[in-house]
């Protein structure tokens, strides 16, 4: 069974090396690492060209939903894991998640807890974000891809839809994902749009 990791990046040169090393350091190494670059202009793609163990993909569409969908369609794995280029995994993340999926055939996904890089207390949250999950690939056949209509909140829209339609998942009770928090975060840089999209998504779901 093949496990693919899909890294999403745009202008991520300050972060991408640490992110990629956290994938390389997994106790269960992914069979393939895809990096989808959204037309970076800060030297990210030039650095990626020097990495011989990854598959580099230049994003032709726009937005994070398109980047994730591009990675899904290009990946060859039976299991898919996502990671934003400013985030970091703990070494045992994939191994613990894969073990749970193999033990329980009814599970379609496993997530973890997360911490935030700007939180000195290291408060732990359930990681309802693609970077926390390991997915069985068939969830995207059943629940569809990320909706590219949403430029900021597509992840939330996908999880709401999938959970309502029966996505089965468990949570590894360990903080295995660290979210990089900074002014360039999409949800922070476009906070007004993020809130507007999220409100619209919630209203649409309540209408069903």
Q: What is the CATH number of the domain that holds 142?
A: 3.90.550.10
Mean pLDDT, range 51-62, rounded to an integer:
93
Q: What is the token pair recorded at 112?
A: 């973890």
| Domain count of the fold of the chain | 1
User: What CA–CA distance (Å, rounded) separates 18 from 158?
Assistant: 28
Residue 39: domain span: 3-207
pLDDT for 187 beyond 80: no
Per-residue model confidence (pLDDT) at position 190: 58
Let me know: does 198 contact 156? Beta carbons within 8 Å.
yes
Whether pTM > 0.85 for this model: the answer is yes
Higher-confidence position of 171 and 207: 171
Q: Secondary structure of 1-40 in the HEC alphabet?
A: CCEEEEEEECCCCCCHHHHHHHHHCCCCCCCEEEEEECCC
Per-residue model confidence (pLDDT) at position 151: 79
pLDDT for 170 beyond 90: yes
pLDDT for 179 beyond 90: yes
Q: Which of 2, 12, 111, 122 is nearest to 59 (CA)?
A: 12
Looking at residue 131, what DSSP letter applies?
G
Per-residue model confidence (pLDDT) at position 38: 92
């Amino acid at each position: 069974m093949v496990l693919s990791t899909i890294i999403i990046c745009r202008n991520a040169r300050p972060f991408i090396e640490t992110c990629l090393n956290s994938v390389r350091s997994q106790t269960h190494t992914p069979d393939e690492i895809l990096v989808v670059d959204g037309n970076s202009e800060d030297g990210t793609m030039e650095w990626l060209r020097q990495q011989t163990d990854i598959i580099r993909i230049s994003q032709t569409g726009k937005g994070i939903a398109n980047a994730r969908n591009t990675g899904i369609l290009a990946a060859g794995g039976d299991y898919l894991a996502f990671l934003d280029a400013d985030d970091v995994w703990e070494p045992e993340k994939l191994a613990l998640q894969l073990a749970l999926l193999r033990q329980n055939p009814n599970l379609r996904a496993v997530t973890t807890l997360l911490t935030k890089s700007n939180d000195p207390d290291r408060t732990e949250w359930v990681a309802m974000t693609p970077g926390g999950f390991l997915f069985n690939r068939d969830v995207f056949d059943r629940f569809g891809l990320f909706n590219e209509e949403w430029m900021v909140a597509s992840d939330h829209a996908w999880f709401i839809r999938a959970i309502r339609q029966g996505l089965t998942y468990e949570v590894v009770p360990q903080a295995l994902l660290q979210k990089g928090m900074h002014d360039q975060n999409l949800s922070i840089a476009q906070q007004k749009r993020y809130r507007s999209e999220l409100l619209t998504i919630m209203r649409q779901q309540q209408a069903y």
